[in-house]
Amino acid sequence: MNRCLFTALSLVLALTFSCSEMSKKQPQSKSSDRPTINLDVKKWELSNGLRLLVIEDKTLPIMSYYTFYEVGGRHEGPGTTGATHFLEHMMFRGSKNYPPLVFDSTIEKLGGSTNAYTNFDMTVYYESLPSAHLKNMIEMEADRVKGLLLQPDLVDKERQVVFEERKMRYENSPEGKLYLRMMQEVFKGTPYGGSVIGEVEDLKALTPENLRSFHDNFYVPNNMVIVIAGDVDADEVHSLIKSNFGDISASTKLSDLKNKNDDKSKYAFKTKNIQKEVKLNGTSPSPLFMYAFQGLPLGPRESYVMDILSSVIGDGESSWLNQTLVKTRRPLLSNVYASNYTLQHNGVFFIGGELANRVSLPTLKSNLESYIKNKMCDQAISERTVQKTKNQYLLSFFEGLKTNAGVAHFVGLRESFFGDYSEYKKEIQIYESISTTEVKEVCQKYLASAEGIFVSIWDKNKETN
């Protein structure tokens, strides 16, 4: 099973393109004939603070079950980096009524699948299975919240799995090593300036007691959102959740922990003077690069405008960067992309790609800087390209309606980040109202007039700090 981090790009896609349930899975037309999305969500909050959201869909006898905890890499500190991701692994390694390795095998026997992911802001667990096993699934999830084992021998065994994952994601992956260093440079001195998997020395030292502390502090009902979508009866789900989770006490110290961890001054960029070049040595036979700029967190209107900007300049064959740097007589790159990565309390905008044959890093860097400062914002952004991108975004929203998992993930993300699943209505309105002028202004403000960090990796690079 692939217990892994979201990459930057996949997180951006999850937050920007994941889609919600639409009534009877058919678009409803407004007077303007633009399709819209109407969610039919039933929501409860138990007396202990647990939030439950249910979306009924009787199309097929299947369901998806998602659990969101607001705890991730940013909640760790020196000496405990990687603890939340390590805990995610251990949640599959035994609880009071489900011995080690039984959780996965039980779900497989029921005809389902299960997995999880951890990022800087949250940890998410999810299952898809026949809806006839709703009661079993709820009992299993409640058991690993109430009775997680964290046996020392299994912690040590899983530690080796985490080490191997780190090697696969970072040490043995040029792309992963490049991405990690970019994040460390952009967010230096903030809770986002590290590795969600954790530093090697911290992973070696983490104990069952460390993991238990994170579990007891954050795996509590008032820090939990459960979303179930599919062929279920919402009132029955509510009754089962209440009977299995209702007796778990809310944490009285969660508010203080959150206030401490959510202090916005901790996440602010430490300096605006970030202009820098970093060279990494890796196994890539062709140079790879990321050119990163300080971005914005989830929520502000400009962060939505930057989503549109990233797609206009770097998404697909027809994007400006692809046409200018790849699909040209003398290409500088063999591939290129752009991404606006918005986290809960900050963000980063970056352009990346692979150099074409016989193109040097200094040549690419010089040309790219010139294009960004002098050409891109005017040439790339037009009424046509902005409207095309907005149409693609709306289509992507609808595409996510095809699965219960897409519905549950979409609803849970918004409920967790914004405290209201219906935030999607505001999102769609903002995307639809973004003007070409706004996109150009944001391009000038955050890219053309800003400084960036240029990070490259190549098997011929000499490492720089």
Residue 428 CA to residue 440 CA, distance in Å, equals 20
Question: Could you give the C-alpha distances from 72 to 140, 285, 312, 345, in angstroms and in order?
Answer: 23, 34, 31, 13
Residue that is last in its domain, among 242, 265, 288: 265
Q: What is the pLDDT along the chain (465 residues), one digit of tens a residue?
A: 333 333 333 333 333 322 223 333 333 334 356 677 888 999 999 999 999 999 999 999 999 999 999 999 999 999 999 999 999 999 999 999 999 889 999 999 999 999 999 999 999 999 999 999 999 999 999 999 999 999 999 999 999 999 999 999 999 999 999 999 999 999 999 999 999 999 999 999 999 999 999 999 999 999 999 999 999 999 999 999 999 999 999 999 999 999 999 999 999 998 877 889 999 999 999 999 999 999 999 999 999 999 999 999 999 999 999 999 999 999 999 999 999 999 999 999 999 999 999 999 999 999 999 999 999 999 999 999 999 999 999 888 888 878 999 999 999 999 999 999 999 999 999 999 999 999 999 999 999 999 999 999 999 999 887
Q: pLDDT by residue (tens digit) across 216-264? A: 999 999 999 999 999 999 999 999 999 999 999 999 999 999 999 999 9
Residue that is last in its domain, among 212, 232, 265: 265
Specify whether 336 is located in the same domain as 435. yes
464 within a domain of the structure (yes/no): no
Residue 34 CB: number of other CB atoms within 10 A?
13
- Strand 113-118 to strand 123-130: parallel, antiparallel, or no bridges (unpaired)? antiparallel
Specify whether 150 is located in the same domain as 242. yes
Specify whether 128 is located in the same domain as 8. yes
Q: Domain range holding 414? A: 276-458
Smallest Cα–Cα separation from 148: which of 107, 74, 209?
A: 209
CA torsion 218-219-225-227 (nearest 10°) is 150
335: domain CATH number? 3.30.830.10
Specify whether 69 is located in the same domain as 191. yes
Residue that is last in its domain, among 236, 265, 294: 265
Residue 105 CA to residue 89 CA, distance in Å, equals 15
The C-alpha R_g of the chain, in whole angstroms, comes to 23
What total of structural domains would you count in the chain? 2
- Strand 51-56 to strand 224-230: parallel, antiparallel, or no bridges (unpaired)? parallel
90 within a domain of the structure (yes/no): yes
- Could you tell me the pTM of the whole model? 0.91
Specify whether 343 is located in the same domain as 314. yes
- Sign of the dihedral through C-alpha 369, 374, 379, 382: positive
Residue 238 CA to residue 240 CA, distance in Å, equals 6
- Strand 35-36 to strand 28-29: parallel, antiparallel, or no bridges (unpaired)? antiparallel
Which amino acid makes up residue 365?
A: K
312 within a domain of the structure (yes/no): yes
Specify whether 386 is located in the same domain as 444. yes
Specify whether 211 is located in the same domain as 343. no
Specify whether 259 is located in the same domain as 303. no
Specify whether 320 is located in the same domain as 247. no
Specify whether 199 is located in the same domain as 138. yes
367 within a domain of the structure (yes/no): yes
Specify whether 287 is located in the same domain as 162. no
State whether residue 192 is helix, strand or coil.
coil
Note whether 455 and 284 are within 8 A (CB): no
Residue 37 CA to residue 254 CA, distance in Å, equals 34
Note whether 282 and 455 are within 8 A (CB): no
- Strand 453-458 to strand 276-281: parallel, antiparallel, or no bridges (unpaired)? parallel
Specify whether 410 is located in the same domain as 343. yes
140 within a domain of the structure (yes/no): yes
